[in-house]
Amino acid sequence: MLNIQPVSFRNNFNYNLRKNISSTKLAPLSKDTVSFTGERQLTDIRAIVKESGADFDEIHQNASVAEGALKKTLNRALSPFVITEDNPKGIIEPISVRTKSPESIEEKVISVLAEAVKQADPSLLFKIENSQSIKEHVDDIIGARVILDKSDPKDNVAIVDALISLVRNNELKIKKIEMIVPSDKNISPYFDRDDIERLVLEVNKKRNHNNPVKFKPKTSKTGYCALHIDLDLSDRNKKAIYDGYSGEIQIMGCDVAKLKDVEDLCYKIKQDKSIAGRHPAYDTFVNHLNKYFKYENPKKSEEDNKEIAELYKAFFKEYTYKAYIIQRKKDKNSPNCDILPTLKECGMEGKLPEDLDFNYLRMLKDSCDKIYELSKRSRLEDEDVASIVKSSKIYFSELSKIQNQSFRNQFLKLLNDLYKLTAHDQN
């Protein structure tokens, strides 16, 4: 459950949750929400969003049009740098662009409003009256990811130059630039600060002088390193159905990207955020991590359980930081480049159980992803069943290497879920 403590608002703000974030058609809450516990706050926010009548399917569909426009723009500008058989000297992998699912958009709205309550900041609130208000306040419904093949800033300056060209031609409206740099001074960021400042300068030439983009590198607390760019995806003529949407471009190295996917899922669970709109396909992953992050031993006191859970979280944070640093130092052409930093490599053996090793967690995530993907289909084809069988053989092969019985059971449950899904769809 989300650990939001009761809050007291600044400036004697008379705060009523339903009044401030929901449609006027809804009746007010029976008591002031600020007196609720964190669990009650989140429950009421979730209920208000559910009752609002917001059409998240429509928001997703319209955003998908904006996704297509963004993808077209980025591909046109960056395609010369993509690694292909005809262009082996390229410097980036094929660009990926995605739109959050309706369930994920709804969960993000809940998350934004919950943060407003947690931070006691009424300026973060918005009314859930229509699609317009939601798309104006949720800034990452559409996201693009650019994966750099190399870590040297000298190799990546061409990407900055391409972005500058898009800004100059009014093809890209940038609202915010965040350069996340490693805290380890022996590891350089993917871009030189001077190159990013050139980009900021061009952005501010196009913006209102009273609202310039401010740039200051942010030191990563986890070891994560990337360049994040927030976009205004409004249509120039204000007529397109995707007008008003915002988006985000994440630019990171292939080294970090391999760890980022699984670490990001772990971070969301650690922060009590939902996964894929709380889709049951990820229950196994969520329950597995919460076995440690929400440690509960009936033989121990509540205070002791909480202390152990916090210890697991602290050690996992340490492991995450060390893993990112080691990952950045890897040679992508080395034989073990696809293996994530292990507990042993990071000096975390004895501090964390083996089933919190990122390589095990990645296997667990991949299997949950498979269930999620298949559950979205109207029916399963023969090749889907074949894929499940092939996957299960791989998982059972991996299981033989795993000594931890609890973790073996997690995989066995996942396989069982896969087969249940197959049987259900085939009947």
Q: Whole-model pTM?
A: 0.76
Q: What are phi and psi of 159, to 5 degrees?
A: -65, -40
Q: What are phi and psi of 272, to 5 degrees?
A: 60, 30
The reported pLDDT for the residue numbered 54 is: 78
| Least confident interval from 87-101, 144-158, 204-218, 405-419 | 405-419
DSSP 188: -
The torsion angle over the Cα atoms of residues 399, 402, 406 and 407, rounded to 10 degrees, is -70
Work out the widest C-alpha separation in the chain, in whole angstroms: 66
When pLDDT is averaged across residues 15-40 and rounded to a whole number, the result is 42
> Is a pLDDT exceeding 60 seen at residue 238?
no
Question: Measuring CA to CA, which residue among 229, 248, 265, 244 is closest to residue 141?
Answer: 248
> Is a pLDDT exceeding 50 seen at residue 331?
yes
Q: What are phi and psi of 321, to 5 degrees?
A: -60, -50
> Is a pLDDT exceeding 50 seen at residue 37?
no
Q: Which of the residue ranges 322-326, 334-338, 381-385 has the most confident prediction, judged by mean pLDDT?
A: 322-326
CB-neighbour burial class of residue 216 (10 A; exposed 0-12, middle 13-18, buried 19+): exposed
The reported pLDDT for the residue numbered 356 is: 93
Rounded Cα gap, residues 392 and 404, in angstroms: 19
Rounded Cα gap, residues 143 and 74, in angstroms: 12
Rounded Cα gap, residues 282 and 154, in angstroms: 40
> Is a pLDDT exceeding 70 seen at residue 170?
yes
The reported pLDDT for the residue numbered 102 is: 84
Q: Which of the residue ranges 1-5, 153-157, 390-394 has the most confident prediction, judged by mean pLDDT?
A: 153-157
The reported pLDDT for the residue numbered 425 is: 44
- CA dist 26 → 17, 22, 32, 400, 410 (Å): 11, 7, 15, 56, 43
Rounded Cα gap, residues 422 and 98, in angstroms: 27
The reported pLDDT for the residue numbered 10 is: 39
Burial annotation 285-308 (CB, 10 A radius, 16+ → b, else e): bbebbebbbbbeeeeeeeeebeee
Q: Are 159 and 147 in contact (CB under 8 A)?
A: no
Higher pLDDT, residue 331 or 284:
284
> Is a pLDDT exceeding 90 seen at residue 112?
no
When pLDDT is averaged across residues 227-242 and rounded to a whole number, the result is 73
Q: At what angle do helices 254-270 and 302-329 cross, to 10 degrees?
A: 170
| Least confident interval from 36-40, 100-104, 194-198, 301-305 | 36-40
User: Binning pLDDT at 50, 70 and 90, where does residue 400 land?
Assistant: low
The sign one gets for the Cα dihedral 55, 59, 62, 68 is: negative
Instruction: Tell me the average pLDDT of the chain.
Output: 78
Determine the straight-line distance between the first and last CA of the chain, rounded to whole angstroms.
37
User: Binning pLDDT at 50, 70 and 90, where does residue 411 land?
Assistant: low
Q: What are phi and psi of 351, to 5 degrees?
A: -95, -35
When pLDDT is averaged across residues 260-286 and rounded to a whole number, the result is 83
Q: Are 327 and 232 in contact (CB under 8 A)?
A: no
The reported pLDDT for the residue numbered 397 is: 57
User: Binning pLDDT at 50, 70 and 90, where does residue 26 land?
Assistant: very low
Q: Are 426 and 377 in contact (CB under 8 A)?
A: no
The reported pLDDT for the residue numbered 303 is: 93
The reported pLDDT for the residue numbered 7 is: 34
Percentage of the residues of the chain whose pLDDT score is greater than 70: 70
Rounded Cα gap, residues 357 and 342, in angstroms: 6
The reported pLDDT for the residue numbered 280 is: 76
Q: What are phi and psi of 96, to 5 degrees?
A: -115, 140
Q: Are 63 and 242 in contact (CB under 8 A)?
A: yes
> Is a pLDDT exceeding 60 seen at residue 209?
yes
56-75, pLDDT tens digit by residue? 888 888 888 888 889 999 99
> Is a pLDDT exceeding 60 seen at residue 288?
yes
Q: Which of the residue ranges 161-170, 272-281, 322-331 has the most confident prediction, judged by mean pLDDT?
A: 161-170
- CA dist 17 → 7, 34, 38, 39, 128 (Å): 12, 8, 13, 14, 12
DSSP E strand stretches across 43-148: 96-99, 142-148
When pLDDT is averaged across residues 82-99 and rounded to a whole number, the result is 92
Question: Measuring CA to CA, which residue among 248, 124, 77 is closest to residue 176?
Answer: 248
Question: Measuring CA to CA, which residue among 257, 246, 278, 249 is closest to residue 111?
Answer: 278
> Is a pLDDT exceeding 70 seen at residue 418?
no
The reported pLDDT for the residue numbered 46 is: 77
The reported pLDDT for the residue numbered 126 is: 63
Rounded Cα gap, residues 238 and 388, in angstroms: 46
Rounded Cα gap, residues 367 and 372, in angstroms: 9
189-205, pLDDT tens digit by residue? 899 999 999 999 999 99
